Amino acid sequence: MTIEEEMRSSYLAYAMSVIVSRALPDVRDGLKPVHRRILYAMRESGFTADKPYRKSARAVGDVMGKYHPHGDSSIYDAMVRMAQSWSMRVKLIDGQGNFGSVDGDSPAAMRYTEARLAKASSFLLDDIDRGTVDFQPNYDESEHEPGVLPAVFPNLLVNGASGIAVGMATNIPTHNPAEVIDATLAMIANPTIELDELMQVIPGPDFPTGGIIMGRSGIRKAFETGRGSVPVRARAEIEEIRKDRQAIIITEIPYQVNKATLQEKIADLVRAKEIEGISDIRDESDRSGMRVVIELKRDATPDVVLNQLYRFTQLQTSFSVNMLALDEGKPRTMGLKDVLEAFIRFREDVILRRARFDLDKVRDRGHLLVGLVLAVANIDEVIALIRSAPDAATARASLMAREWDASEVVPLLELIHDEGNVVVDGKVRLTEAQARGILELRLQRLTGLERDKIQGELNEVAVKIEDLLDIIGSHIRRMEVMREELLAARAEIATPRMSEISDALGDQSDESLIEPGQMVVTITRDGFIKRTPLEMFRSQNRGGRGRTAAGRRGDDVIVRSFNAHTHQWVLFFSSGGKAYRMKVWHLPEASPTAKGRALVNLLPELGSDAITAVLPLPQDEELWDDLHLVFATASGNVRRNRLSDFRNIRASGLIAMKLDEGDSLIGVATCREGQDVFLATRKARCIRFQITDDVLRVFAGRGSSGVRGIKLAEGDEVISLCVLNHVDASVEERASYLRMANAKRRAENAALADTAEDEVTSGDDEVVDVVGDLTPERFAELEAQEEVLLTVTDGGFGRRSSAYDYRVSGRGGLGITNMTFSATRRGKEVVGTLPTLPGTDVMLVTDTGRLIRLPVSQVRVMARQAAGVTLFRLNDDETVICVFPVVEDDGETGDVATVEGAETAPVALGGPDSPAAEASPEAGE
């Protein structure tokens, strides 16, 4: 034999030995050999539930010396697990002493602990001495051990199993004993029962540590195929422990989770600032139950923290089901029906073998009773024969040699189906067993009362034999016996379900559980994000003091904000040119004063990059096919792509745009063919050009750096991007319209003349020689298409201007003046230019975190060169860094009201104090 053949055969022999003799449980009794040997050895030693506790070392020694030639630690570990209430759904060992804890504490040494069989073990061991199972020699053939225990209930499902063999592994969850027995009874009643009907009886696993099983799809797959994943979540409640302080109370954890390790993991995440909002963790568990208190900070949102814990810790795990067990000595992956069918076949065989064993015993007793009846009927002759015999052997031989009258026993022989006595010519001879019984007969049995008892016992034996013969010959009868024994076991081991199965958490999508509504999403310079319900911000008049928008640490400030529907998709674009996607409801919800959560925790693949552009997308995804994305960088480059290029974005992100060294992405907006791109710079320059294939073509890939959108002066940079509707109007028509519209507005706003002193104007970059005025029809047409842009400075001033005041030019030019700064006013830079809708509000945010919401109707429409009016009264050394529009719900639909052609809510603009890579939040429409 070659070395290859030797290794192959030896390894296969070793693998099969591990599979059959060590690692995998038997489907019949649900036990591995070591567990089976422990239970059997303790029974043989008398360590039963009705006896006192015995030293664990004594039981381990018996097992190791007689049946299991392995280390004592492995035997003791197996015994300890069977005594742990958090490991076994039904304990098989009743332990006294330190048997470990759910915190992972080690049990005391075996010399210190005591143990005995639990009551439930009797249902696995009963009838083992009645020929129900086969025995096999032990390792040195000095003893015999059972190959399987005659289990009354399906222990494999009740207590589960886990083990790693060679090339295969098993992982079977625990189930509720009452439900498992009920399912077995249902299959006995209807062997062709469908899985769906069985799952109404046994809906899923039931773990000894409780918890909440999320959904039924994983359970069904596991029950059907034997393989599946069952998500399990800890049971947590949010309680108010004292005024303004809430805590998350954990009372149940997933199966096989170490509680102490879980707390350490939470603490590590808090220290690493991956989870915000936790101030303290305490373990208040005692004998009455588990209680882990996670105390929250005052500004923390409990639901958000709890969701973070579910995501990043073992408060939520998945139990990988692999129902692999030995069936007729061979490893087999089985579903729920397969396991129950295998158990029912085995249990029927146990009942059949037990009936045959009992029949033999009862027939032997009946045979002996027939001899006693014969002796009592002929007592004088029997006594005389015995007295004349010199010894017992002679007496026995004389009794067997004598022929006796069979008239008394023939009916009895027929009654008990006894074939041991042969009747010939009305005579019968005693067998050796009967002769021995007569010789051992006590004199008191010769009384009349005792003779009646013998006859009565003989009648009972006859009934028992008939019953046993019925069991042996009838499958239906065996099923009835099995049912009765299952019901008896159920009465002893049934307990209420511990694990809840939640359809809401698993079978429903998370989004369906989120209440629709408008949210204000806020992002800080240090990368913290949150969402706050829009209704928490009340409207104020122009010139108000505002309110605190967010809590800050150090010099962290808000750099961008936007409002969006909870079910909208949001695209995140990083400084490195990558795109990420997330629903608004996935963002952490927090109060207006809360800091929020670090973006790096929401986007783990972000790394050291910063999020520099955020774009909420239309809720109706059918609109995506007709939309394009226009990109703008701080250096003035632009690019156009189809929105469908970003439909599928993996969790690790997607390359969105190739950036030159030192450049950053400042804005992304949706657009359509024929609309206009508007770029505004920090030094009050702007440019407007049309979106056409000749001016700005659609790029096929995402790896390009784009083309020049505006030529910048030294030290200048692009700070905002928006998309405007293109209107076909000549230069003369635009100038005439502006003159007529201004006159109309002055007449309408005469009551606001007191604000005129705030207005400062200067010369125009372009002088238009007006030929003539517009007709009323043309004026009305242009008025209906007019868009108004709001420009805000870092000094808290702003003004609205008609989009007609910004001419359409070619791409790549120097642009025109966007605003004129006054020497007497604070602020020398523009923080944003964005389109506004009639009847809506805008929000301004300062570098100190103050925020004001005011109606745009209170801001006058002026020429684009005007310095504007006071929008926000600032404190000393305070500047405006961010402005964004508030778009209310459109009627009852819950959709965001937008300008025709503008598909998303505009995004806030950055301010001068934010870094160059982060300074310009997007102004996408």
| Rounded Cα–Cα distance for residues 787 and 809 (Å) | 18
Backbone angles phi, psi at 905, to 5 degrees: -65, 135
| Rounded Cα–Cα distance for residues 271 and 281 (Å) | 12
223 has pLDDT over 90: yes
How do residues 781-813 score in pLDDT, each as one tens digit? Answer: 888 888 999 999 988 899 999 999 999 999 999
511 has pLDDT over 70: no
440 has pLDDT over 60: yes
Is there a contact between 229 and 183 (Cβ–Cβ < 8 Å)? no
Mean pLDDT of 187-200: 94
How do residues 836-894 score in pLDDT, each as one tens digit? Answer: 888 888 888 888 878 888 888 888 888 888 888 888 888 888 888 888 776 443 333 33
How do residues 355-365 score in pLDDT, each as one tens digit? Answer: 999 998 998 88
Reported as a pLDDT band with limits 50, 70 and 90, residue 917 is very low
DSSP string, 340-398: HHHHHHHHHHHHHHHHHHHHHHHHHHHHHHHHHHHHHHTHHHHHHHHHH-SSHHHHHHH
- The pLDDT of residue 473 is 93
SS3 content of the chain, % helix, strand, coil (to 5): 35, 25, 40
- The pLDDT of residue 283 is 94
Mean pLDDT of 736-748: 83
How big is the CA angle at 341 (ends 336 and 342), to the nearest 5 degrees?
100
Q: Please name the residue that has the structure tokens 């009323």.
A: 776
Q: Which helix (H) or strand (E) holds 888?
A: none
Q: Tell me the sheet residues that pair with 679.
A: 687, 721
Is there a contact between 566 and 585 (Cβ–Cβ < 8 Å)? yes
How do residues 272-329 score in pLDDT, each as one tens digit? Answer: 988 888 999 999 999 889 999 999 988 787 887 888 898 889 999 999 999 999 998 8
What is the 8-class DSSP label of residue 37? H
Residue 498's CB is within 10 A of a number of other CB atoms, namely 16
pTM: 0.62
Reported as a pLDDT band with limits 50, 70 and 90, residue 448 is low
| Rounded Cα–Cα distance for residues 801 and 844 (Å) | 18
What is the token pair recorded at 244? 């303004």
Show the domains of the chain with their CATH numbers. 235-314 (3.30.1360.40), 346-475 (1.10.268.10), 517-886 (2.120.10.90)
| Rounded Cα–Cα distance for residues 386 and 226 (Å) | 70
Q: Which helix (H) or strand (E) holds 731?
A: helix 731-748
- The pLDDT of residue 556 is 63
The residue type found at 507 is: D
Question: What do you get for the CA distance between the two ends of the chain, in Å?
Answer: 79
How do residues 520-536 score in pLDDT, each as one tens digit? Answer: 888 876 778 888 888 77
Reported as a pLDDT band with limits 50, 70 and 90, residue 449 is low
484-489: which pairs have CB atoms within 8 A and are 24 or more residues apart? 485/152, 486/152, 486/153, 486/181, 486/184, 486/185, 486/188, 487/181, 487/185, 488/152, 489/123, 489/152, 489/153, 489/181
Q: Could you give the 3-state DSSP secondary structure of residue 801?
A: strand
**Can 112 be counted among the known catalytic residues?**
yes
Reported as a pLDDT band with limits 50, 70 and 90, residue 912 is very low
Backbone angles phi, psi at 635, to 5 degrees: -80, 0
Least confident of 120-124, 544-548, 874-878: 544-548
Is there a contact between 412 and 349 (Cβ–Cβ < 8 Å)? no
| Rounded Cα–Cα distance for residues 562 and 883 (Å) | 9
- The pLDDT of residue 715 is 87
The residue type found at 638 is: V
Does 3 or 757 have the greater pLDDT score?
3
The rounded mean pLDDT for the chain is 83
Backbone angles phi, psi at 435, to 5 degrees: -65, -45
| Rounded Cα–Cα distance for residues 127 and 151 (Å) | 9
What is the token pair recorded at 492? 């002893």
Beginning with the edge strand found earlier in the chain, give each strand of the sheet holding 718-724 in spatial order: 718-724, 676-681, 685-690, 816-817
- The pLDDT of residue 425 is 74
| Rounded Cα–Cα distance for residues 842 and 906 (Å) | 11
- The pLDDT of residue 893 is 31
Reported as a pLDDT band with limits 50, 70 and 90, residue 348 is very high
Is there a contact between 795 and 883 (Cβ–Cβ < 8 Å)? no
How big is the CA angle at 922 (ends 920 and 925), to the nearest 5 degrees?
155
Does 250 or 566 have the greater pLDDT score?
250
| Rounded Cα–Cα distance for residues 805 and 764 (Å) | 10
| Rounded Cα–Cα distance for residues 613 and 615 (Å) | 7
DSSP string, 553-608: -TT--EEEEEEEETT-EEEEEETTSEEEEEEGGGSPB--TT---EEHHHHSGGGTT
- The pLDDT of residue 857 is 86
Given the residues 11, 14, 112, 139, the one annotated as active site: 112
| Rounded Cα–Cα distance for residues 665 and 575 (Å) | 6
Reported as a pLDDT band with limits 50, 70 and 90, residue 513 is very low
Q: How far is CA 356 from CA 205, 471, 473, in A?
A: 37, 9, 10
- The pLDDT of residue 318 is 93
What is the token pair recorded at 327? 């069936």
100 has pLDDT over 50: yes
How do residues 572-631 score in pLDDT, each as one tens digit? Answer: 887 777 888 888 888 888 888 787 888 877 887 777 777 777 778 877 777 777 788 899
Q: Could you give the 3-state DSSP secondary structure of residue 117?
A: strand
H helices present in 190-295, as ranges: 195-201, 217-225, 259-271
| Rounded Cα–Cα distance for residues 47 and 82 (Å) | 15
| Rounded Cα–Cα distance for residues 7 and 734 (Å) | 92
In 3D space, the residue among 735, 728, 807, 727 whose CA is nearest the CA of residue 772 turns out to be 735
How do residues 405-427 score in pLDDT, each as one tens digit? Answer: 777 777 777 777 767 777 777 78
- The pLDDT of residue 548 is 57
Reported as a pLDDT band with limits 50, 70 and 90, residue 546 is low
925 has pLDDT over 50: no
895 has pLDDT over 60: no
How do residues 333-342 score in pLDDT, each as one tens digit? Answer: 999 999 999 9
- The pLDDT of residue 907 is 40
Reported as a pLDDT band with limits 50, 70 and 90, residue 770 is very low
Mean pLDDT of 446-468: 80
910 has pLDDT over 70: no
Look at the alpha carbons of 807, 811, 815, 819 in this order and tell me if their dihedral is positive or negative.
Answer: positive
DSSP string, 506-535: HTS-GGGGSPP-EEEEEEETTSEEEEEEGG
192 has pLDDT over 90: yes
- The pLDDT of residue 503 is 80
| Rounded Cα–Cα distance for residues 678 and 686 (Å) | 7
